[in-house]
Structure 1
Amino acid sequence: MGILNVTSDSFFDGGSYTNPQSIVKQCEKLLSEGADIIDLGAYSSRPGAIDISESEEIAKISSATEIILKHFPETIISIDTFRAKVANAGIAAGAAIINDISGGDLDDKMFETVANLNVPYILMHMKGNPQNMQTQTSYKNITTDVNLHLSEKIAKAKSYGMNDIIIDPGFGFAKTLEQNYELMNHLEMLHFHNLPILVGISRKSMIYKLFNSTPQEALNGTTILNTIALQKGAHILRVHDVKEAKECITIYQQLNSTAVK
């Protein structure tokens, strides 16, 4: 899953893809490097992110989706949003998946909307919202608590008739650096749900803060953690750098193909 942010506020590439030409160029790059899905976001979810209006988010998502599909009509697009009306607009414009960082917590119409749209739904763990989530990092046991939260949300989603669900443990969302690594260390425990697992750790602070560096210097750490995530059974890697992630996947698959059965 290649990340395409059309916001000026993203922690890594904010402001880089805000006009049609730059959107097309970046999408072409991601697809040529092997992206299977383009994850399109217009609302930054970084800690302390600027809040934008629903109408602005809808306008950006709808426009970018139409631009991408005009130039690359076979593209599978996921809409990164926690707002039901944005989700609806994105699917109406031609997107195929909803990626909700809040797991339905920030819009009580989200589950009903996704069920009516009958599209796959990525359900992520987070507490609070992007503006206050880093003040909500109290857990008895991070892995157990995340699993319990996901179990409750999965049950609720299914009660609305949603069956095509992907889970995301939410690395970097309402979690300290140490909690992120503890969760990664026990990622295999999420297979309890028998659902596909998405991992999104690309250039996040759990990497660059460990080395007192920057997101721009976090590609090597991203590659290492993506490899570990694959070893622990992750099904989808959400990344800024598709070429490097595809190389991780190819090497991992080659190792598995030569393993003694």
Structure 2
Amino acid sequence: MGIVNATPDSFSDGGLFLDPDAGLDHALALVAAGADILDIGGESSRPGAQPVSEADEIARVVPLISRVRARTSVPISIDTVKPAVARAAVLAGASIWNDITALSAPGAPETAAELGCEVILMHMQGEPRTMQADPRYGDVVAEVCEFLLARARVAMAAGVARDRIWLDPGIGFGKTLEHNLALLAALDQITALGFPVLLGASRKSFLARLDPAARDPAHRLGGSLAAALVGALAGAACVRVHDVAETVQALRVWEATR
């Protein structure tokens, strides 16, 4: 899954692809590099990020999704927490709803069922503005698994088909370095829940905690590739990444050795 952030403030590439033409060029480049899915978002979820209005978010993502859909058949995911944005994105050509709040907004599960799109349910403790203040867990792996299963049941109760549901442990979302490493080490327990799992660890700040020289997100390629391979070994169905070509190459080498 290649990342296309149509935002001015994303932690790694904010402002680079806010213009629809720039976003389109980037999306097509990711497809050429081997992306199987494009994840387009119009609201940053980095720690401390400020909310974006529904109208502004739609204005950022819908023109880009329409242009991308006209140029490629690769599935498009809309990264949003707002049902109205998801609806507008699906009408424009998206077929996956990637929700960091696991369909927690009022009416979100019912909207997902009505749209018939695939949904990605992610775990997050708190919300982006405060999630990294002081995250605490008794057993982070057990609690994340319990939350994801509960949200999957809510989605299915609203009418979302079981085979349309993905799970995401939410690396970096309300978690310390130790929490992130515990989830990566136990990722096979999440894949064992019986749903396809998306892993998003690309360029995240926990990598700089392991390598202080990687303060710039663009300097975290090695750690991002290592995390992607950990995900592949644990059975993750997809990895969400900024560096598509390099990740595809790493996964091809790993796959060739199996």
Same fold, judged at TM 0.5 (above): yes
CA distance in 1, matches of 2:135, 2:121: 19
**Greater than 2 Å deviation, 4+ residue runs:** none
Amino acid at match of 1:75: V
CA distance in 1, matches of 2:223, 2:4: 20
Q: Per-residue CA shift, 1:37-86, capped at 9, x if unaligned?
A: 1000000000001221111001111111112123x141311000011000
1:133 paired with 2:100, answer no
Q: Per-residue CA shift, 1:101-150, capped at 9, x if unaligned?
A: 11022x12111100000110000001221111113511110000000111
Amino acid at match of 2:18: T
1:240 paired with 2:216, answer no
**Structure 2 spans left out of the alignment, 5+ residues:** none
> What residue in structure 1 maps to residue 185 of structure 2?
185
Amino acid at match of 2:156: K
> What residue in structure 1 maps to residue 143 of structure 2?
145
Amino acid at match of 1:141: D
CA distance in 2, matches of 1:150, 1:20: 34
> What residue in structure 2 maps to residue 98 of structure 1?
97
> How far did 1:242 drift?
0.4
Amino acid at match of 1:152: A
> What residue in structure 2 maps to residue 46 of structure 1?
46
Contact 2:191 2:234 in 1 (8 A): no
- Report SS of the residue matched to 1:193: coil
Amino acid at match of 1:160: A
- Report SS of the residue matched to 2:97: strand
Contact 2:177 2:206 in 1 (8 A): yes
The change in CA–CA distance for 1:192 and 1:98 in structure 2 (over 3 A counts) is same
- Report SS of the residue matched to 2:60: helix
CA distance in 2, matches of 1:52, 1:98: 18
> How far did 1:204 drift?
0.2
Contact 1:197 1:235 in 2 (8 A): yes
1:37 paired with 2:37, answer yes
> What residue in structure 1 maps to residue 226 of structure 2?
224
Amino acid at match of 2:244: V
Amino acid at match of 2:54: E
Matches within 5 A, 1:81-120: 81-105=80-104, 107-120=105-118
> What residue in structure 2 maps to residue 74 of structure 1?
73
TM-score by length of 1: 0.95
Once structures 1 and 2 are overlaid, which stretch shifts more, 242-251 or 115-124?
242-251
> How far did 1:26 drift?
0.6
> How far did 1:245 drift?
1.1
* Identity fraction in percent: 37
- Report SS of the residue matched to 1:44: coil
> What residue in structure 2 maps to residue 259 of structure 1?
none
Contact 1:127 1:136 in 2 (8 A): no
> How far did 1:210 drift?
2.0
Amino acid at match of 2:202: S
Instruction: Give the total of aligned pairs.
Output: 254
CA distance in 2, matches of 1:98, 1:227: 25
> How far did 1:28 drift?
1.6
Amino acid at match of 1:34: G
Q: Per-residue CA shift, 1:208-236, capped at 9, x if unaligned?
A: 23222221110011011111111111110
1:16 paired with 2:32, answer no
> What residue in structure 1 maps to residue 59 of structure 2?
59
